[in-house]
Amino acid sequence: MHLRLIFAVILSAIVLIGAAGQENDTSFVGIHQAESEYYSGVFDTIPLPGDVSYETPVTLKSRAAGDPSFMVYGWHPYWANSSAYLSYDYDALTHIAYFSFEVDTATGAYSNLRGWDTTPLISYAHQRGVKVMLTVTNFGQARNTELLTDTVKQWTLINALVYQLKSRNGDGVNFDFESVPSAMKSEMVKFCRRAVRGIKAELPQAEISLATPAVNWSDGWDLQALAEICDYVIMMGYNYYWSGSATAGPVAPLAGENYNITRSIDEDYLDAGVPQGKLLLGVPWYGYDWPVTSSERKSATTGSGTSRVYYSTLPLVASYGKTFDNATSVPWLSYQNTSGWRQMWFEDSLSLRLKTGFALTRQLAGIGIWALSYEAGRPELWSGIKEAVSGTTSSDDAGIAEDLSRVKILSIAPNPVSERSLITCHITGYGGYTLTLYDMEGRAVKTLAAGMADPGTLQVSLDAYSFSPGLYICVLRTPAGSSAATLAIVKK
């Protein structure tokens, strides 16, 4: 094991109790594997739902010239509602990865295609200029060892993938091999080299990518070598806290924890030699809800956490409110039920926008989303992505139509600003408020204003001289709601 990783694991055991939830756990299972195993128990006993198309999908219609090169890559899980793909925002997306082709490690062929051979999603996405990949899953140390030590099985897999891509007009492959043991590190590199060579010999334009861990617990990944071989890698920037964590905590902390997205990207990927232009940051459209001992932040857990997709967090937020944790740039809430205290750490449009802004600041190739359909057709997460990329103003977390019945940052003028700007806000009811400026790495830079306000218009002056040039996010919070807008500071 790498010395830096050994030191980090030892350190995490001796720092404050809040880091305990991030310690290595031999029973740790990633969210891709956990959800795949759960839903396989459901879908293995019933037919796949919804519409199917046995015809060869149409070929890709190219995206319009001048579209942003920043990739927005989303995994589409086979358990998604049969009509979920109809509500995806194809103006925001550049890639969809169909999840998944499950490897049969006894032969190298597939044990289940999970509807890849019949899904109408491919044609629908292609008509809208979005590429469709086939995700290949193989989970667990034993299963990965079985495949990675047998070149005959590997070539069976590669040939099967070529056939599936050709028969369905697929645009490439995303390999999601999780819990690769350290003994298989070099074999994983060799396999990827074979896969890229074999697939591109038949399909030169195919894109080959890897889903890779945020923390290389098993030391099974030679990230620099893999990035050189593949077109890009997608760091799964989540599950820093998971169902079995000892304390509740943020699934995807941007900072503020011993292990966090900033450290993973900077130290484990960029410093390790992974090029920025080949690296995507995976972001979660889910959170975890744990039984805990009290309402205190990061309280000790008393049982396993339950994953909650984005749309299922909204009723709890409506009932109990939420606290935006400035240290980690992730919201959380505590509540009680008949069994006692529970604590949920989750994602909202602001936290995800800050993660997208971080990827842009680091000049990464894009973001990846786990998982499409978890927004259940709501627009706010899509809007946040597009606004972060374009630098336009944001809608609020609630995703409701724009009117004066809600809290809103109405304008920032001028914007961009080099000297002074006036921020005009709409407040819906008497109460406390804060107006805070965040940088694109999710750090709270300054509270611009705070206090009590009457319903109506609130104006706050911003002096740009005291800030470095760059993009910022201005966030208004009140008990009645919140709103965010992008602000650009320039120097003459």
The 10s digit of each residue's pLDDT in 12-44 is 333 333 345 665 555 578 999 999 998 888 877
| CB-based burial, 190-212: b 16+ in 10 Å, e otherwise | ebbebbbebbbeebeebbbbbbb
What is the arithmetic mean of pLDDT over 316-328? Answer: 90
What is the arithmetic mean of pLDDT over 288-300? Answer: 98
Length of the chain: 492
Nearest to 456 by CA among 417, 404, 421, 415: 404
What is the arithmetic mean of pLDDT over 352-377? Answer: 94
Name the β-bridge partners of 461: 422
- In CATH, 3-370 is 3.20.20.80: yes
Instruction: Give the number of other Cβ atoms within 10 Å of residue 117's Cβ.
Output: 14
Structure tokens at 389: 């990329």
- By mean pLDDT, which of 68-82, 124-138, 285-299 is the weakest? 68-82
The separation between the first and the last C-alpha atoms of the chain, rounded to the nearest angstrom, is 50
Check: CB of residue 240 under 8 Å from CB of residue 284.
Answer: no
H or E element at residue 167? helix 151-168
pLDDT band at residue 69 under the 50/70/90 scheme = confident
pLDDT for 2 equals 45
Q: Give the C-alpha separation, 240 to 262, whole Å.
A: 12
What is the arithmetic mean of pLDDT over 256-266? Answer: 96
Nearest to 172 by CA among 112, 223, 132, 143: 132
Check: CB of residue 49 under 8 Å from CB of residue 35.
Answer: no
pLDDT for 255 equals 94
Q: Give the C-alpha separation, 59 to 54, whole Å.
A: 15
- By mean pLDDT, which of 23-27, 127-131, 244-248, 271-275 is the weakest? 23-27
- Position 401 pLDDT exceeds 50: no
**330-335 own/partner pairs: CB under 8 Å, 24+ apart:** 330/250, 330/251, 330/252, 330/253, 330/254, 332/248, 332/250, 332/297, 334/292, 334/295, 334/296, 334/299
Domain ranges of the chain: 3-370, 397-489
pLDDT for 92 equals 95
H or E element at residue 14? helix 3-14
pLDDT for 444 equals 87
Instruction: Give the number of other Cβ atoms within 10 Å of residue 74's Cβ.
Output: 27
What is the arithmetic mean of pLDDT over 111-127? Answer: 96
For 421, counting Cβ atoms within 10 Å of its Cβ (0-12 exposed, 13-18 middle, 19+ buried), the class is buried
- Count helices and strands in the chain by DSSP H and E runs: 11, 21
- By mean pLDDT, which of 76-90, 152-166, 204-218, 477-491 is the weakest? 477-491
Architecture of domain 397-489: Sandwich (2.60)
- Helices (DSSP H) in 237-304: which residue ranges? 261-263
Q: What percent of the chain has pLDDT over 90?
A: 66
pLDDT for 490 equals 85
Q: Give the C-alpha separation, 153 to 351, whole Å.
A: 42
pLDDT for 134 equals 98
- Position 349 pLDDT exceeds 60: yes
Instruction: For residue 448, give the 3-state DSSP assignment.
Output: strand
- Position 356 pLDDT exceeds 60: yes
pLDDT band at residue 400 under the 50/70/90 scheme = very low
What is the arithmetic mean of pLDDT over 287-304? Answer: 98
Name the β-bridge partners of 279: 233
pLDDT in tens, 202-239: 999 999 999 999 998 888 999 999 999 999 999 999 99
Question: What is the average pLDDT score of the chain?
Answer: 88
Nearest to 111 by CA among 160, 66, 183, 148: 160
- Position 399 pLDDT exceeds 60: no
pLDDT band at residue 66 under the 50/70/90 scheme = low
**184-187 own/partner pairs: CB under 8 Å, 24+ apart:** 184/144, 184/145, 184/148, 184/149, 184/220, 185/219, 185/220, 185/221, 185/222, 186/222, 187/148, 187/149
Computed on alpha carbons and rounded to an integer, the radius of gyration of the chain in Å comes to: 23
pLDDT in tens, 431-485: 899 999 998 778 889 999 999 988 888 899 999 988 998 888 898 988 888 888 8
Classify strands 470-478 and 232-236 as parallel, antiparallel or unpaired: unpaired
- By mean pLDDT, which of 36-50, 193-207, 367-381 is the weakest? 36-50
Nearest to 220 by CA among 5, 471, 473: 5
Nearest to 461 by CA among 416, 407, 419, 423: 423
pLDDT for 271 equals 96
pTM of the model: 0.81
Name the CA dihedral angle for 417, 420, 424, 430, rounded to a multiple of 10 degrees: 140
Cα angle 372, 375, 377 (rounded to 5 degrees) comes to 100
Q: Give the C-alpha separation, 309 to 378, whole Å.
A: 12
Q: What percent of the chain has pLDDT over 70?
A: 89
